[in-house]
A = this chain, B = another copy of it.
Amino acid sequence: MAKLLSLEQAARMIPDGASVMVGGFMGCGSPHRLIDAIVTKGVRGLTVYCNDAGWPGHGVARLITAGLVKTLNATHVGLNPEVAALMASGGLEVRLIPQGTMAEQIRAGGNGTGGVLTPTGIGTMAAEGRQVVDVDGKRFLLEKPIRADFAIISGYQVDHTGNIWYKGSTRNFNPLMATAADTVIVEADTLVEDGCIEPENVVTPGIFIDYIVKGGAW
């Protein structure tokens, strides 16, 4: 039973220093309107979890460019040159995580398991400081669950219960992040009546969603 908020109301919920998961992959499936509203409202020292840094002017990049982000946890930042400059000037801390590990860590954050045992990163810098667990003679890194105070995600169709259907490849991290934050806000491209999304075709069940903001068609 998700509650409808205006973009401004939603933006005001996020305090300085909050940790925020941002859905999307290079901006595809990111909550663009809500990101804009947060930039307009202004906030400081966010810790952000997002697949990437987008490209300048697009997606999560707008939060970074506006100077709202203290730490970015991402898998790849190479397509946003501003990030390299900010990292060099000390204006942004970036923690890099292998993409499959990050996806599974967020899933673990939402599903009550103790983390992920992954072969990815063994023998690399990604293994630094990680516990190694031996299972039947094969070594795995123990990567801990990731949770955040907020998840801001995007959905193409969202019903009043909060059920979400994702169009195309906008899905990516959105369904995972929806499970792993204390407060979850979805930006709906289209708000539909309950029952419009067949129960079989619901990707993110509404029980994970706290608030809906209307995005409108792009």
Using a CB–CB distance below 8 Å, which chain A residues touch chain B? 104, 112-119, 133, 135-136, 138, 140, 142, 144, 165-168, 171, 200-201, 203
Contacts and interface: CB of A to CB of B under 8 A. Distances in A.
Contacts of A138: 114
Nearest to A120: B112
Given A114-B119, A117-B113, A201-B201, A133 B133 contact: yes
Given A200-B165, A200-B166, A133 B118 contact: no
B114 A135 contact: yes
A92 to B, nearest CB: 27
A203 to B, nearest CB: 8
Contacts of A112: 118-119
A142 B104 CA distance: 16
Nearest to A119: B112
Contacts of A167: 200
Given A113-B116, A117-B142, 11 more contacts: A104-B113, A112-B119, A113-B118, A113-B140, A114-B117, A114-B135, A136-B144, A165-B200, A168-B200, A200-B203, A201-B201
